[in-house]
Structure 1
Amino acid sequence: MVVGAGVIGAACAEALSAAGVTVTVVDRSGPAAGTTGAGEGNVLVSDKEPGPELELAQASRRQLPILLAKLAGELGQADVEWQPKGGLVVATTDPRPLHDFAARQREAGVTAHEITAGQALELEPNLTREITAAVHYPEDGQVQPVLLATTLLSAVRQRGGQLLSGVTATGVSRNALLTDRGAIACDHVVNACGPWAGEFAANAGAPIPVLPRRGLILVTTPVKDLVRHKVYDADYVGAVASGDADLQTSTVVESTPAGTVLIGSSRQRVGFDDTIQVDVLRELARKAIRLFPKLRKVNVMRAYGGFRPYLPDHLPVIGQDHRVPGLWHATGHEGAGIGLAVATGRLLTELMTGQKPHVDPKPFRVDRPGLA
């Protein structure tokens, strides 16, 4: 049983079913109804410090196009709007932190090209002329997150698995998942509840400190060829890595195949308060205009927000919980879940089925010191 039909739960279910495991996915709402449906679809290596999360991201980035090609053959199609368009990180102040970060990433195997301001403008002609440094990351990409999750779940169903929407998981007993519709017999339960994973884990008798971290995104009306890559300022990396509960914003701008421009990003720990704050939207808009001045004349069509599953040491939990027999976790990816999903599903499957892990699972274990 996989609890949660977001992209992480879907990726775990797909990998398990591909390994021959009979899988049922349950979700109290439906596919991609939570964090996944409120995301941008980022598949990034550019925003991660060298270490376990970057290694997981690199593995996932390598595997994603291979998996999509496999699913296209199996399902007849697998259009998730995959765009390996690359990313561009720019600085408008001191360039040294950006250069130092890129150097550390290159040592870890990331392709990171330091380019001049003129070269950056060739890649993004509408970018501000005030940039002092830029790094091009050709490995960065983007998908439509809802399409990715539903495609993965389609593969699960085609292999004989089930999706039970409108079913709320309430706990775990020996050899069963407890739900509001009664107990469902199973050998293993995967907690892929995203920001709600802490609540489910506590109900299962194995608490983990997952907290919701809210983010807001602006969506413009369609505009032609304004932004070609995923572009963000150098402050984004610091905001991602911060554990501060207070509001943090950094500029992220990217287009979609439909022509709309997505503008982020904000991070704030306010529990599950889903209020759309106009002052936060204004700040996102102001910062985006500083990066792309032509956005000043583009209309905003809508705004949306969601909750990311935050853990204090900024690493997901992937693997078995030895406090409760049969309980597994795949959560805590915060805003990187889309990009980490494929490798997460594969790693969890390898651990559950006794295969050799393709990445080191130790940093993601539930009993690691950072979660004590």
Structure 2
Amino acid sequence: MRADVVVVGAGVVGAACAEALSAAGLRVTVLDRGGPASGTTSAGEGNVLVSDKEPGPELELAKASRHRWPELLAELREELGAELAEAEWEPKGGLVVATTEAGIAPLSAFAAAQRSAGVLAEEIGPAAAAELEPHLTSAVTAAVYYPEDAQLQPVLATTALLAAVRARGGTVHSGLSALGVSTDARGAVTGVRTSRGVLPCGAVLNACGPWAGEFAAAAGAPITILPRRGQVLVTAPLPESVRHKVYDADYVGAVGSGDADLRTSTVVESTRAGTVLIGSSRQRAGFDETVHVDVLAELARKAVALFPILADVGVMRAYGGFRPYAPDHLPVLGADPRLPGLWHATGHEGAGIGLAAATGRLVADLFLGRESFMDATPFRVGRPAVLGKVPA
């Protein structure tokens, strides 16, 4: 059957867009060359953060998404039942710390800027930080507590979103590769060319994450989206040892950096299963999937410096993934001005899980031409950073 929209990419961003579009009554088909949440989403830590974004459009999208996630999960529980809608939502809060005297002023200034944008950012001293995290290093010189930071299980969240799409009559295809689009005499999209034939549709949404640039080029409307590799360590399960998402103050700089070279910063958080996730690294190295032991060793060293208790804890596994990176560090959302019927939802880099809920709603608002909760202009597809020359 002809779909109103075919969503290419069954990660959390594609699933959130498909859910929002199907909730509006559209017939939606989702396809992925792997399976749901099998790409970038499966390599995510599940962060829903406002603490790491400076004032601007991405922070506004993050604030909206932080509000939307628990609301959306409650709606899915009502529609699907508690079991299908379980996503391990934990509004645990975040703690950002400095461990040098030089780090105090920048951390305080960043928190002040966020407060001016409506973020709850509570500056606390080392003693209060130790009360929140008893195993934290005594080297902390300053800290900011972010009560709005949260975490969920990204694969479960994606599965719940796609379950809602199916419940509303939509279709989800695994193991189906999108090869491009078909168009009519006017040049408008009429279908998606796949490895098993053409899926007719009224529009196609490119939600391919780090591979969005490849699909856009195959569709005849290239955009600049680059893969930015990251690696994560996972410890064996522990008794409660890390209560919040905790990271050092240089994490914000690593997130906002455009460097191709390796950047690492300390991020430590626990999961409901008791494991501790240790990150994070960022590097533009194409789609090289090699796991680098030296990077993992640096992550481990920095994590132990922040939480000395981790020194004797066994590492259960390590994994890596690719974040979809846009040169100006903003998501790419909306209609492509060059090809009628082609839409994009990508470029969230490492924030896709946190931004997904609001992204879905914003894309649905734009698609349906209805008034939205925020101005989508900063995320427009036609901006120079997205349509310009791909950096070397």
Is the TM-score greater than 0.5? Answer: yes
TM range (shorter): over 0.9
Q: Does 2:28 align with 1:23?
A: yes
Q: Which residue of 1 aligns with 2:37?
A: 32
In structure 2, give the amino acid aligned to 1:110. V
User: Offset at 1:23?
Assistant: 0.2
* 1:127 corresponds to which of 116, 126, 136: 136
User: Offset at 1:107?
Assistant: 0.2
Partner SS state of residue 259, structure 1:
coil
- Alpha-carbon distance in 2 for matches of 1:325, 1:173: 11
User: Offset at 1:369?
Assistant: 3.0
Q: Which residue of 2 aligns with 1:255?
A: 270
- Alpha-carbon distance in 2 for matches of 1:83, 1:46: 16
* 2:116 corresponds to which of 77, 86, 107: 107
Mapping of residues 198-347 of structure 1, within 5 Å: 198-347=213-362
Q: Does 2:163 align with 1:154?
A: yes
Q: Does 2:169 align with 1:141?
A: no
Q: Which residue of 2 aligns with 1:96?
A: 105
* 2:90 corresponds to which of 75, 83, 95: 83
Q: How many residues align?
A: 372
- Alpha-carbon distance in 2 for matches of 1:103, 1:369: 31
Q: Which residue of 1 aligns with 2:377?
A: 362
- Alpha-carbon distance in 2 for matches of 1:292, 1:34: 30
Asked if 1 retains the 8 angstrom alpha-carbon contact of 2:225 and 2:326, the reply is yes
User: What per-residue deviation string (whole Å, max 9, x for no partner) do you get for residues 279-307 of structure 1?
Assistant: 00000000000000010011100000000
Q: Which residue of 2 aligns with 1:351?
A: 366
- Alpha-carbon distance in 2 for matches of 1:71, 1:331: 24
- Alpha-carbon distance in 2 for matches of 1:199, 1:38: 20
Q: Which runs of 4+ in 1 moved over 6 A?
A: none
Q: Which residue of 2 aligns with 1:171?
A: 180
Partner SS state of residue 202, structure 2:
coil
In structure 2, give the amino acid aligned to 1:332. G
User: Offset at 1:370?
Assistant: 3.0
User: What per-residue deviation string (whole Å, max 9, x for no partner) do you get for residues 25-62 of structure 1?
Assistant: 01001100000001100000000010000000000000
- Alpha-carbon distance in 2 for matches of 1:35, 1:162: 21
Asked if 1 retains the 8 angstrom alpha-carbon contact of 2:221 and 2:338, the reply is yes
Asked if 1 retains the 8 angstrom alpha-carbon contact of 2:16 and 2:161, the reply is yes
Identity %: 70
Q: Does 2:55 align with 1:46?
A: no
* 2:210 corresponds to which of 176, 183, 195: 195
- Alpha-carbon distance in 1 for matches of 2:125, 2:294: 34
- Alpha-carbon distance in 2 for matches of 1:66, 1:27: 27
State the TM-score, normalized to the length of structure 1. Answer: 0.99
- Alpha-carbon distance in 2 for matches of 1:328, 1:273: 28
* 2:61 corresponds to which of 56, 61, 64: 56
- Alpha-carbon distance in 1 for matches of 2:378, 2:180: 26
Partner SS state of residue 79, structure 1:
coil
- Alpha-carbon distance in 1 for matches of 2:182, 2:109: 50
- Alpha-carbon distance in 1 for matches of 2:36, 2:86: 17
Asked if 1 retains the 8 angstrom alpha-carbon contact of 2:326 and 2:385, the reply is no
Asked if 1 retains the 8 angstrom alpha-carbon contact of 2:179 and 2:218, the reply is yes
Unaligned runs of 5+ residues in structure 1 are none
- Alpha-carbon distance in 2 for matches of 1:28, 1:297: 40
Partner SS state of residue 249, structure 1:
strand
User: Offset at 1:363?
Assistant: 0.2
Aligned alpha-carbon RMSD (Å): 0.6
- Alpha-carbon distance in 1 for matches of 2:148, 2:370: 28
- Alpha-carbon distance in 1 for matches of 2:208, 2:179: 12
* 1:70 corresponds to which of 64, 75, 81: 75
- Alpha-carbon distance in 2 for matches of 1:176, 1:65: 34
State the TM-score, normalized to the length of structure 2. Answer: 0.94
Partner SS state of residue 188, structure 1:
strand
In structure 2, give the amino acid aligned to 1:207. P
Partner SS state of residue 143, structure 2:
strand
Asked if 1 retains the 8 angstrom alpha-carbon contact of 2:224 and 2:385, the reply is no
Unaligned runs of 5+ residues in structure 2 are 1-5, 184-189
